[in-house]
Structure 1
Amino acid sequence: MTAPKRKKARANGEGTIYQRKDGRWEAAGYVLAANGTRKRVRVYGTTRKNAADKLAEKIADSNRGLPVATADSTLGDYLTYWLGSVAVHRLRENTHTRYATCVRLHLIPGLGTKKVARLTAKDVRTFLDRLRTACQCCAQGLDIERKQCCAVGECCQKHLSALTVAYVHSVLKSALEHAVREDELPRNVARNVKTTTYQPRRFRPLTAAEARRLLHAARADRLHALYELALRTGLRKGELLGLRWEDLDLTTGTASIRRSLQRTRTGGLTHLPTKTRASERRIALPTECLHSLKEHKERQDTERETAGPDWRDNGLVFTTPTGRPLDPANLTRRFRSFLDRAGLRRIRIRFHDLRHSTATLLLEQGVDLVVIKEPLGNALGSTDDGPEDPPAAAVVR
């Protein structure tokens, strides 16, 4: 009688490794988890060595004191780990802040106690359905703090918009997708859940007549050149506020878009790279913009003399009357006030809608969509040092 074949002995610290019924290899061992305890982690591979190497890498990180996300962790612990160790290196700071807010307000309260490995599509679907119908004053405890809403028996029915619910869902999918890529989960259950299609805000771009009225009213404003650039070239708010005089060539009529001015939680007003690689570009400036920029430079020189020692020279094109950078939020408020004074439309127009209006006006003029994308800096835009042909500019004469 043949003796049964003995299993290969595992090396010390190698953990448990075995082949699953689906043919994949699974390795499991104890590592330092995101909450400071030691938990069992499982990884998967196509071969025994592949699974063993992945587990060894996690055990090595754990031995160096680095917490390791585990499928046996609660979703709350995993999301905390993912935000602090993964997403923080891949996202712009403002995007990371929005993700963190979404996790803190919605995902952890709603699904935080669930085990990542046991999370099902039904759990996600139930959570999203509850998120759509729950009053947020009550869900976040604001009614108790303020002694209103459900705390006094008069619920305000403050529900999340369909867009916000879809955003929460997308953050969860991103987090779980990382676990799948790291072979900590076999599949992303959040991807199996379909959210209700949200109805985007109906945007009606400025007509040519409205654009003329806007530019005419802007002539009396100290930021006339900014509004003209925004409407005729479609530059983003941050790109406009990040423009330096050294980026402009008023002789050849071009502008190099290299940076964006943003307010971040940790750095305050900060110059950041453009939104995408395609956003870094050189554009041709329309004749009207050249005239308004030259007038703006003269006005800024006068403001510099008036401010005297209080002037803060930083080379920016658009500043406060004392040379300091313009805060994007302040520009938004200033633009709303300007629209009210100009009597333009009762329907609220966002500053970013000027960018959309640029594209619409150009399309109405018969300009090809690919040509439009160049000055706007969209994905299909040119990233060459300079355009071969001057990009189109919205005509609102």
Structure 2
Amino acid sequence: MSETPKRARRAGHGEDTIYWDASKNRYVGAVSLGYAPNGKRRRPKVYGKTKTEVRQKIRDLKKEVQSGVKAPANYTVSDAVNDWLERGLKGRDAKGTVGKNRSMANKHLIPFIGKAKLRDLSADDVDDWLDDRAAFLATRSLRDLLAILRRSIEHAQRRDKAARNVALLVTAPEGRPGRPSKALTLKQAEAVLTAARPSRLYAYLVLSLLSGVRTEEARPLTWDHVFLEAENGVPPHIAVWRSVRKHGETKTRRSRRTIALPQQVVDVLEEHKRWQMQERASRGMEWSPTGRVFTTRSGEPLDAANVRRDFKAIVKKAGLAPEWTPRELRHSFVSLLSDHGIPLERIAQLVGHSSQATTEAVYRKQLRPVITQGAEAMDVIFALRREAIDHEA
């Protein structure tokens, strides 16, 4: 005679229960979490294919409750990233910092792990995602992507939407070799300036190449910060006091600097100023002594896309590969000065680095041993070219 199976013990009041739900084809775990302030019993449910899975989810849920975190069950990685982009970067430049992070997230993060529930995301998931992207992105880009995920989850943690940050357990892998920044040789620099001569970008490129200002510092430059005449023993100079960053701040405190101008830059800017005044007058527009030095034809500020597009056409005309970028004019400035024997500490001052160690780290492939000093190095370097232009005129 077979033994009648014992009926499962009914869970006592306040205990957790696990049972099979045929309609959902899943095990259900009912968790007892006491009572809400309104007196209603708090008994959330979790689901799983096995009892073991449900027990683990019950333990995880209780840990979240003990830590004070109530991670929403349907809160995804995409939700976390978008919340961080919308709320975690307040005060940052919309086109710069925010735009760059949003573009990277939309291309390389959200399409791949965006649908994952944040509470279920594991370090292995993050590792697998980064390993997959490593076949397409440079190491620097992979590190930036991981930083976006880390900051997004951290933002979610501050709002009690995540219990832990699994992205902190992961290290970005090595990716594809990035294209190192290059520096124009003197011959290439001369070719670029010759090709740019008929362009409205000519003065912009001359200033960038011969003074080392960043493109983000040249675009917002105004005429009241440009001094083309020597006065009281002070040579012609520009005051690099702002950039296109949020609130006009320069990249670092040392980036806020005053730079003496080579004579060739003075000549070009004087010509550019006369031309700009004539252009404004012909269009019925008023020229302002505090207006921007470099603008579009309609008088609007230049943006990075304007400069990149026009520069690409100029380097192509100069017979160079089209992948050269405007920021490499600054690398070229450093390289030409170093080739001319200007000390590293002087170059660091001119480009606005906080220390010569930064200059050496960023531009180490272009730097040469120090030989001599020279305050008017660029006038000497480009002297032959200026004489050739004068002779043509």
What TM-score do the two structures reach when normalised by structure 1? 0.63
Residue in 1 that maps onto 2:338: 363
User: Matched residues in 2 for 1:104 and 1:327: separation?
Assistant: 22
Query: For 1:182 and 1:362, how far apart are their aligned partners in 2?
Result: 51
Q: Distance in 1 between matches of 2:76 and 2:349?
A: 46
Q: Alpha-carbon deviation of 1:164?
A: 4.2
Give how far 1:203 is off.
3.8
Deviations 1:115-135 (A, max 9, x none): 4344322111112233456xx
Contact 1:312 1:324 in 2 (8 A): no
Query: Where do residues 116-135 of structure 1 align in structure 2 (5 Å cutoff)?
Result: 116-132=118-134
Q: Which one has a bigger Cα radius of gyration?
A: 2
Partner of residue 75, structure 1: 77
Paired position in structure 1 for 2:109? 107
CA distance in structure 1 between the partners assigned to 2:152 and 2:376 by the alignment: 41
**3-state SS, counterpart of residue 259 of structure 2:** strand
**Aligned equivalents of 2:323 and 2:108: distance in 1?**
29
Between the aligned residues of both structures, percent identity stands at 31
The change in CA–CA distance for 1:338 and 1:112 in structure 2 (over 3 A counts) is: closer
Tell whether the 8 Å contact from 2:137 to 2:175 is kept in structure 1 after alignment: no
Whole-angstrom CA distance in 1 between matches of 2:66 and 2:268? 61
| Long gaps (5+) in structure 2 | 1-34, 39-61, 230-234, 357-372, 384-393
CA offsets 1:105-148 (integer angstroms, 9 cap, x no match): 44333323444344322111112233456xxxxxxxxxxxxxxx
Q: Find the counterpart in structure 2 of residue 333 from structure 1.
A: 309
Tell me if 1:396 matches 2:373.
Answer: no
Residue 189 of structure 1: how far off its partner (Å): 3.5
- The code of the aligned residue for 1:325 comes to P
Contact 1:367/1:392 (<8 A) preserved: no
- Residue in 1 aligned with 2:282? 306
Matched, 1:94 2:101: no
Post-superposition offset of 1:231: 0.4
Q: Aligned residue for 2:146?
A: 169
CA 91–293 in structure 1, closer or farther in 2 if over 3 Å, else same: closer
Q: Deviations over 1:6-29 (max 9, x none)?
A: xxxx9969xxxxxxxxxxxxxxxx
Check the 8 A contact 1:163/1:198 in 2, yes or no. Answer: no
Counterpart of 1:194 in structure 2 is 172
Aligned counterpart, 1:35: none
CA distance in 2, matches of 1:246, 1:352: 24
Instruction: Select which of 267, 276, 291 maps to 2:267.
Output: 291
Aligned to 1:258: 241
- Which residue does 2:348 correspond to in 1? 373
- Kindly indicate whether residue 218 of structure 2 is the aligned counterpart of residue 240 of structure 1: yes
Deviations 1:27-77 (A, max 9, x none): xxxxxxxxxxxx996686xxxxxxxxxx6xx9xxxxxxxxx9779943333
Instruction: Decide whether aligned partners of structure 1 residues 333 and 362 sit closer, same or farther in structure 2, where only a CA change above 3 A counts.
Output: same
Partner of 2:328: 353
Distance 1:78 1:362, change over 3 A: same
| C-alpha contact 1:362 1:392 (8 A) present in aligned 2 | no
Partner Cα separation in structure 2 for residue 214 and residue 396 of structure 1: 13
Q: State the one-letter code of the partner of 2:150.
A: K
Q: By how many angstroms is 1:261 displaced? A: 4.1
If the length of structure 2 is used for normalisation, what is the TM-score? 0.64
Mapped contact 2:139–2:178 kept (Cα < 8 A): no
The whole-number CA distance in structure 1 between the counterparts of 2:270 and 2:211 is 17
Instruction: Identify which of 258, 262, 280 aligns with 1:282.
Output: 258
- Superposed CA offset, 1:316-341 (max 9, x none): 11223453333432222222222233
Greater share of strand residues, 1 or 2?
Answer: 1
Q: Is the 8 A contact 1:41 1:71 kept in 2?
A: no
Kindly report the root-mean-square deviation, in angstroms, between the aligned alpha carbons of the 2 structures.
3.9
Aligned positions, number: 303
| Amino acid in the other structure paired with 1:396 | F
